Each structure stands twice: as C-alpha cells, then as structure tokens.
Amino acid sequence: MHVKVENNRHLLKRSLEAVAVFLFEGEPPAGESVAAIDKAAKGMIHQIWEEHDFEGKLHQTTILYPCDDTAIRRLILIGLGKREDFSADKMRSAGAKAGQTARSLKAKSLAVALAADEIGLSWEVATEASVEGIILGLYQYTEFKTLDRESFNEVELLQVFIKDNENMSLVKAAAARTEKICRAVHFVRNLVSAPANAMTPTIMVREALAIAKGHKKIKTTVLEAADMKRLGMNALLGVAKGSAEPPKFIIMEYRGTGKEQSPIVLVGKALTFDSGGISLKPAEKMDEMKTDMAGGAAVIGAVCAAADLQLPVNVVALIPATENLPGGRALKPGDILKSLSGKTIEVLNTDAEGRLILADALAYAGRFKPVAIIDIATLTGACVVALGDHVMGMMGTDDNLKKRIKKASEQTGELLWELPLWDSYSDLIKSDIADYKNAAGRPGGAITAAAFLSKFVGSYPWAHLDIAGPAWLTKDQAYNPKGASGAGVRLFVQLLRNWSDAV
C-alpha cells in the first residue's frame, strides 16, 4: 500500500473509487471537509443523518452511492462512537474498518479526509493513528494460497486529504513514518504466520539478513552451534539437541547515535517450533507453536524500523533461535545444564524451554553494558490465563524502564499489565540439586518464569514482556486481523522514539 497526502482542494477534482468519512455519534455531520464531500454527494450525508439511519456508533458502517456524475463513486461512512470516549486507538480501529470496507468493495484506492482539529487529536497523532489502522487492518497472509488469488483484493493506494497546506509537511512526514512502522509489523506478521517448515532458525537468519541489508547502520552477526559451545551457551544448546535443525543466535546492532552511548538490548525468544520436547504438548493446537518465535521476530522488526526511522539511539537485538523437539538426543526431564552465566539449571519440564534459551541470551546481553535490557517472549500459558489473550504481561526490576514501557503501551494501544515480581517468587524456582529449576508448577506461572529470567540478567535495568496471548489472535481485532499480530513491534518503536526525545 502506498500513502499519498494531498490538499483538500484536489479531493473533489478526482474520480475517487471510495471515500471514507468518519462521524461522531450523536453529532450532525459538520466540519469543512465533511461539508465539501457532502456537497459533492448532493447532501446524502445530511440526508442519512436526518433520517436517523446512521448514528455514528463506533464501527457502524454504511455505504452510500452518490449519483454517477459526482467525483465520488462510493462513500463509506464510519462511526467513531461518542466524542468523549474517542482516542487515538479508536481512530486506528475506525481506520481499519474503512480500509476493510473498501477492500470488500474491491476498491483499489481509498481516500480519507483527515481533520485532526475536528476530532480533537494532534495532526501527528491523527495521521499516524488513521494510516496505521488502515494499513494494519488490511493485512492478509496469502503466501501459501494458490487458488482464487484474484479474489484477494488489495487496496493499493491510500489518499489522505487535509484542508490546508500549513500542516502538509508534518502530515506527510507522519504518514511516511507510519508506513515504515507498518512495514515492520507486516514483516513480523509474515514471519510468525509462516509454518515451521518454512521458518526454521536457518530461514530466520536469512530473513534477518535480508531485511537488514538495506540499512548500512545495522550490523548482523550470527553465532553457530560451534560458537555457542565455545562460549558455553549450554542452555540454548540443550534445547536445540532434540532437533535436527541447527540453532542460531542472531545479533543485530543498530547504531543511530554515538559509540559512547550504551545500547538498549532487546532480546526475543525464537522457538521456530515448540513441541514441548520430551514433555510433549497435546496434539490439539500444537500447530500454533509455530508462533513461538514471535518475540524474536518482533525484535528484528523493531531494530529495522528504528534504522528506517533513523532514530538517534543505539539498539541491539539478540535472537536465540532453535526448535524444541523430542529427538533421540533431546533434553530429558531431570537433566542439568550449566548456562552461559555459570549458573546451573535443573530441567524439570522440557516444555519450559523459552526461559532456557533466554537465560543464555540475557547473560550474553551483559556484554553490551546496556542501559536497559527488555526481553519479549511467548513464554507462558499462565500469562494468558492471568490477563486474557489480548494483553501482554510485564514484569521487571526497574521502575523507570517499566514506566517508559507503560507510556509506549498507552500511546500505541498495545495493551499490557504489570504483574508483581516480589522476592518471594524466587523461592519457588530453587532446585534441590542445581541452582535453579526451570518449572515451578502452576501457581503464578507467568511470574515464576520471569523470576527465573531475572537470575540471568545481572544488574542491568530489565523488563520482561510475555506475549503468549497477543502474539497470535484466534479472532479478528479491529486493526489486528486474526492470526499473527506483530505484537511488540509498535510498542518498541514508540519506546525508542520516546527514548530519543528524552535525551
């Protein structure tokens, strides 16, 4: 999809396939741009309002067909809900609704008249939210569909019309930024959607190299099994032992500012398939474990977006990637591993493998002397039980870092909620015969997993995001169609944008 920003003056001089108009609930159609469109549509918008046939309820959608001598072929009315409940996130969902409606009408282009002042948002936020909602809502994964491909209509052009030239450059810049961020989200969604036979650790490396290629400021390094052995990454190697696919440890370094500035290190769990290993998972829904690399994909996407946006920050992404399979050499319950940090781990459940590979990656993160470490992982079913499947769990040791993450969550609409990480949870992960055990039973499962991770972080400010729920949606959400959501990418990009503002 390509986004073009133009002045309203041009709006009605064109033949437009579909024009979206956003209206608040209980308010008569008003504002300059709506009036101009209504005039071109011979007063249809006012008419439908007078008849009470369109009330502007959130996501309410009506399609009007003005007579054929107007420039507008289809008019899509979308409700924004009540003004007092309105937010940037409602704009995203309304945008998604408009885009999806245009697609269902087989329109190749969609025009929207954007009037930030009339909807009470800044021009920057209004542009970002509407463009983001439209692009993200139109995502579809068609890679493996060979039949009826012509029925997958793509909306190829989004025309954003604004009323004056005063905000033109600001709106253009915001739209261009949003396109870049959405490209990263779609990249991540594609990686997560891919089945495990098309997304092995080796293929993930290829994808990371391919997307990083355009950015000379990203340096990508890949550690092979032999390197891991030399370094002592035995927790990661332990998980990989049950699989014939070689594990990979991907390191992507983006330098957007001076060398002397310590980087933010993002660590993403990448199990390209998690069968559970010898502690095998039930067959039902095991296929969904192809998404167990969503954290790893998210940090690749975030670093590339940071580079694309030329953010003045230094960021490193670390992606331990492997499969978890019950092969002949697989880890057995009871096995003890000596991790990169030197600490020993008793593997009581081979299905608690994410924390094993993260233990080594978190220990490795210390080499960069980071200002902060944030890991992101589809780590526990327990987190989904605690918070629902649309919310990520956050735990961590640094209040300031957690505050920054919460702020980015509010700005992006990527919902998260903090769970406590009190010292008492650490008692639950003590092993009788090693330093720690990797599984601690059902109570507080999301937190005991985080408590385990905390032992490998060292003294750096750290936060952990559990995306077991939101990484993969079983039903459509406004601008996140069901399937892979790209959870974490927009959150990280916003965090990094704020970070660079703050210094």
Q: Residue 274, interface with Mn ion (CB under 5 A)?
A: yes
Q: Residue 466, interface with Mn ion (CB under 5 A)?
A: no
Q: Residue 444, interface with Zn ion (CB under 5 A)?
A: no
Span 226-285, contacts to Zn ion by CB under 5 A: 271, 274
Span 416-445, contacts to Mn ion by CB under 5 A: none
212 burial type by CB count under 10 A (0-12 exposed, 13-18 middle, 19+ buried): buried
Task: Check: CB of residue 90 under 8 Å from CB of residue 132.
Answer: no
List the x/- string, 345-384, binding to Mn ion by CB under 5 A: ------x-x-------------------------------
- Report the distance separating Cα 345 and Cα 330, nearest Å: 16
Span 349-368, contacts to Zn ion by CB under 5 A: 354
Beta partners for residue 315, in sequence order = 254, 264
Token couple for 447: 């937190």
The one among 382, 429, 447, 451 contacting ligand BES by CB under 6 A: 382
Q: Residue 353, interface with ligand BES (CB under 6 A)?
A: yes
Q: Which is nearer to Zn ion, 354 or 486 (CB)?
A: 354
Q: Which is nearer to ligand BES, 133 or 268 (CB)?
A: 268
Matching residue, tokens 């199990």: 271
Sequence-distant (≥ 6) Cβ neighbours of residue 34 within 8 angstroms: 21, 23, 45, 113, 115
Residue 390: CB atoms within 10 A of its CB come to: 16
Token couple for 320: 């331990």
Q: Which is nearer to Mn ion, 25 or 353 (CB)?
A: 353
Measured at the CA of 363, the angle between CA 201 and CA 296, to 5 degrees, comes to 30
- Report the distance separating Cα 417 and Cα 58, nearest Å: 25
Matching residue, tokens 């949606």: 473
CB of 495 to ligand BES, least distance (A): 23
CB of 89 to ligand BES, least distance (A): 24
CB of 337 to Zn ion, least distance (A): 16
The one among 38, 89, 292, 323 contacting ligand BES by CB under 6 A: 292
The dihedral built from the CA positions of residue 183, 186, 191 and 195, taken in this order, carries a sign that is negative
CB of 378 to Mn ion, least distance (A): 9
Task: Check: CB of residue 288 under 8 Å from CB of residue 195.
Answer: no
CB of 332 to ligand BES, least distance (A): 15
CB of 276 to Mn ion, least distance (A): 5
Q: Which is nearer to Mn ion, 179 or 288 (CB)?
A: 288
Strand bridging mode 109-113 / 483-484? unpaired
The amino acid at 91: M
Q: Which is nearer to ligand BES, 339 or 380 (CB)?
A: 380
Q: Residue 468, interface with ligand BES (CB under 6 A)?
A: yes
- Report the distance separating Cα 484 and Cα 494, nearest Å: 20
The one among 202, 349, 397, 498 contacting ligand BES by CB under 6 A: 349
Position of minimal CB gap to ligand BES: 381
DSSP 79-132: E---GGG--HHHHHHHHHHHHHHHHHTT-SEEEEE--HHHHTS-HHHHHHHHHH
182: part of which helix (H) or strand (E)?
Answer: helix 168-193
Q: Residue 275, interface with ligand BES (CB under 6 A)?
A: no
Span 296-355, contacts to Zn ion by CB under 5 A: 354
Q: Which is nearer to ligand BES, 308 or 375 (CB)?
A: 375
CB of 295 to ligand BES, least distance (A): 10
- Report the distance separating Cα 311 and Cα 305, nearest Å: 9
List the x/- string, 361-380, binding to ligand BES by CB under 6 A: -----------------xxx
Q: Which is nearer to ligand BES, 223 or 382 (CB)?
A: 382
Site for ligand BES (CB under 6 A): how many residues? 15
Task: Check: CB of residue 305 under 8 Å from CB of residue 217.
Answer: no
Q: How far is CA 372 from CA 122, 331, 364, in A?
A: 30, 32, 13
Catalytic residues: 281, 355
Q: Residue 17, interface with Mn ion (CB under 5 A)?
A: no
* Contacts with Zn ion, residue ranges (CB under 5 A): 271, 274, 292, 354
* Contacts with ligand BES, residue ranges (CB under 6 A): 274, 292, 349, 351-354, 378-382, 439, 445, 468
